Amino acid sequence: MKTIGNLLWLVLAGFWLALGYLFGGLIMCVTIIGIPFGIQAFKLAGLAFWPFGRTTVIRSSAGLLEIVFNIIWLVLFGWAIFLAHIAAGVALCITIIGIPFGIQAFKLSLLALWPFGRAIIPLSGTSPSYRSQS
């Protein structure tokens, strides 16, 4: 069932959201300072491309550096990505069939605001070193 959901997501919104993350990640990787942000954008592109069956968890090793990076991310990129996910979520929720996809876009919007210090894992199980984020 999650494969069908992922394929529908890909057609409805996932391709364009992932493409935006990939393009942004390439731009960020142009400078050495931007490489950590570009790598994070690539991770988010993978989740935006194929989100069903995976979730994000807070890494227990997250520290002060992740907080600093998250603040920089929020000010420079996060708010715009957040708005893109919200727009996609609202558009998808117009129809009854699109509601699950809209909810997924809203989940991704929160991740787009504060992505550092999180890990993307399969839903089948979690490692004891991670805290689940609902």
Among positive and negative, which fits the CA dihedral 63, 64, 65, 70? positive
Beta bridge partners of 118: 58
Locate the domains of the chain by residue range: 2-132
pLDDT tens-digit series, residues 45-102: 999 888 888 888 887 776 888 889 999 999 988 898 899 889 989 998 998 988 988 9
Residue 128 has pLDDT above 70, yes or no: no
Which tokens is 11 given? 């057609």
pLDDT at 134: 47
pLDDT tens-digit series, residues 14-49: 888 889 899 989 999 998 999 999 999 999 999 988
Give phi and psi for 95, each to the nearest 5.
-105, 160
SS (H, E, C) 27-73: HHCCCCCCHHHHHHHHHHHHHHHCCCCEEEEEECCCCHHHHHHHHHH
